[in-house]
Each structure stands twice: as C-alpha cells, then as structure tokens.
C-alpha cells in the first residue's frame, strides 16, 4: 500500500503532463469545432492539405541529412579528442560550445552571418576570392535546406563527439596493443577496434538524434520560418502554424497524431534492425 502511495505523486505528474495532453490531442483529432465526433474527417483534410506532402518530404530531407553528418563528424571528432596531444583538454571544452549555446541565440547569429548582403560568411568568401558573387545561403531555394542542415550539424555534433569519446574511454588498451602487434595502422585501429567497440554508443546516439531531428523546430523557425515559399517547412512548423496561426486545432491534432505514428514506426523499425542484432550471442 505504501508502495503505491510513494509512486502516486510521480504518477500524478506524469498523468497531468504527458497522458492528458496526448489523450486530449487524440480526442481533438477526431472531433470538430462544435465538439461532435467526426471520425477520420480531420485526417482526410490533413492528407489533402496543400502543404502536407511538402512538410513530410522536407522533414525526411532535413533529418536524414542532419543525422549522416552529425554522426560522421561527431565520430571523427570524438576519435580525435581521444588521442594524446597538447591542448587536448582545451579543445574538448571548446568543442562543446555549439551544443551549449541556446538554440535561438545560435540560430539568430547564424541567420545574420549567412545574410547574402551583410553576412560575414559571404564577405569572407568574396574578399578571399573563393567565389565571385555572394551566395544566397538562405534565399536560394536549393541551398537553404543544406544551409539549415549544416547549422543543425554544427549544433549537435558535439553531443555525438562527447558520447563517442566516453565510449572510447572504455576500450581496453590490450585491444590496441594486440592490433598493433598484428601490424595495424591507425586507420585499421579505427576500423577494427574503435568502431566495433563504440557501436552500441552510435546506435543509441543515432536514435536520439533521429527523435530530436524529427521534433526540431527552433533553428528552422527562427531563421526562415519555414520559408522561403515553404522550402524549409518541416512537420513541427506545419503543425505549429495550423494550431497557432490558423487556429485549426483539430487538424493540427490530426497532423500531430499522424506524425507521432510515423516517428513511432521509424523508431521501432530502427530498434528492430540494430538493437536486436546486439543481443545475439
């Protein structure tokens, strides 16, 4: 009995903050403005929405692109920070800065740095002679999403680096020594010793990055609002606009439910493919 009482406060908070909003969203998605039950009418409206397909494709583009580079860059930096060299401690601290800077601050600064006219990036590129005309980082429809992916990579690769670094600390020295005895170069060490050992770390990190990427709104909303011409409209921004700019709460709820299911399927598939293999003897 006392056991239940101990758990009750935590359960109450969970119920209030998680269960109630989720259930309420589900209820909103199957009712209309007058409160009547309309089954899948909102879902149909959402599927036919002009921007739904755009939002889905942009989300996949953004998340896929971000993860690839976050993991690759983070792993390389983690391996680098694991080596012995002077100034290593300082470099480890500096690497954390992008992750620590608040999202809005980073996004605003990047927006001004990438400004086509007065941004410092274009200034350096043109005065250094690397390009002839200033690049439309946030105005060219083909470049804007890669630019945002780059900012997202910059923001989160330190997290991957720190996780990889932590994982590498647990690699026993004997493994390196036996590899070197077998004539392994540094590249072979990375391929055959480090990467297999940090595989579990990479699997969990990629899962986290996927979930964060799917929910990411701060950087894109701050910099482009989903524009220009909805080129960078991702699902979270689309849902936000439906709910708080168009006040179409029921359709926004339907969109949220669909997006939740989409993310859930993705995560389950991911775990099936990667985590199950780990359990094999």
Partner 1 sequence: MMRVARLGAAGALAAAALACASAESGREIVWWTPSWGQSRAEVLADKFEAAHPGVTVKLEVTVADGLPTRIQTALRSGAPPDLIEAQHGWVVPYAQANLVQPLDDVLEDRADYLPAALEYDTWNDRLWGVPFRIETHALFYNRGMFREAGLDPDKPPQTWPALVDAAKALTRAGSAGRRQYGYAITGGGEVGNTLFRTLPLIWMNGGDIISADLRRATVNARPAVEAVTFYTDMLTRHRVSPPSTLQDDGLAIRRLFVAESVAMYQSGPFDIAPIRSENPKLDLGVMMLPTPTGGAPAAALGGWSFIVPKDARQPDLAKTLVRFLAESENMGYFTDTFPARTSAMTLPRFADPILENFKRMLPHARRLPAHKNWLQIVQIYFDHVQRVLVGDVPAQRAMDEAAVEIDRLLAGP
Q: What is the closest distance, in whole angstroms, from the C-beta atom of residue 115 to partner 1 in the complex?
A: 6
* Angle formed by the axes of helices 88-95 and 144-169, nearest 10°: 140
Phi, psi of 37, rounded to the nearest 5 degrees: -75, 125
Q: How far apart are CA 88 and CA 94, in angstroms?
A: 10
Phi, psi of 206, rounded to the nearest 5 degrees: -65, -35
Q: Does 138 bind partner 1 (CB under 8 A)?
A: yes
Nearest CA-CA partner of 104 in 216, 237, 212, 218: 218
Among 52, 139, 197, 215, contact with partner 1 (rule: CB under 8 A):
139
Among 134, 197, 215, 263, contact with partner 1 (rule: CB under 8 A):
134
Q: What is the closest distance, in whole angstroms, from the C-beta atom of residue 68 to partner 1 in the complex?
A: 26
Nearest CA-CA partner of 264 in 215, 196, 202, 191: 215
Given the rule CB under 8 A, which of 21-29, 176-184, 228-236, 258-266 is the region that contacts partner 1? 228-236
Q: Does 115 bind partner 1 (CB under 8 A)?
A: yes
Cis, peptide link before residue 228, omega less than 30° from 0: yes
Among 83, 86, 117, 173, contact with partner 1 (rule: CB under 8 A):
117
Q: Site mask, partner 1, residues 156-195, x = CB under 8 A?
A: ----------------------------------------
How many chain residues bind partner 1 (CB under 8 A)? 25
Query: What tokens does 165 get?
Result: 């670094």
Between 143 and 190, whose beta carbon lies closer to partner 1? 143
CB 158 within 8 A of CB 95: yes
Q: What is the closest distance, in whole angstroms, from the C-beta atom of residue 221 to partner 1 in the complex?
A: 9
CB 255 within 8 A of CB 238: yes
**What does the binding site for partner 1 look like in residue numbers (CB under 8 A)?**
33, 50, 111, 115-118, 133-134, 136, 138-139, 141, 224-225, 227-231, 241, 244-247
């Amino acid at each position: 009995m006392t056991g239940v009482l101990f758990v009750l406060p935590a359960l109450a908070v969970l119920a209030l903050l998680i269960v109630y909003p989720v259930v309420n969203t589900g209820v909103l998605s199957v009712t209309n403005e007058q409160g009547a039950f309309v089954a899948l009418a909102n879902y149909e409206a959402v599927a036919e929405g002009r921007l739904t397909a755009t939002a889905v494709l942009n989300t996949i583009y953004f998340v896929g692109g971000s993860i690839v580079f976050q993991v690759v860059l983070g792993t390389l930096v983690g391996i680098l920070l694991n080596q012995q060299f002077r100034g290593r401690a300082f470099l480890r601290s500096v690497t954390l800065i992008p992750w620590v800077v608040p999202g809005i601050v980073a996004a605003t600064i990047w927006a001004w740095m990438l400004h086509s006219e007065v941004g410092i990036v274009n200034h350096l590129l043109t005065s250094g002679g690397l390009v002839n005309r200033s690049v439309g980082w946030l105005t060219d429809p083909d470049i804007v999403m890669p630019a945002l992916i780059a900012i997202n990579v910059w923001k989160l690769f330190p997290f991957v680096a720190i996780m990889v670094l932590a994982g590498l600390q647990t690699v026993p020295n004997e493994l390196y020594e036996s590899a070197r005895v077998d004539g392994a170069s540094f590249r072979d060490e990375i391929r055959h010793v480090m990467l297999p050992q940090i595989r579990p770390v990479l699997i969990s990190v990629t899962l986290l990055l996927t979930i964060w990427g799917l929910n990411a709104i701060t950087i894109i909303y701050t910099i482009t609002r989903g524009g220009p011409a909805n080129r960078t409209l991702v699902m979270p921004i689309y849902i936000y606009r439906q709910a708080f700019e168009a006040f179409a709460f029921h359709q926004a709820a339907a969109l949220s439910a669909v997006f939740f299911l989409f993310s859930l399927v993705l995560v389950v598939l991911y775990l099936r493919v990667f985590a199950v293999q780990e359990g094999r003897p």
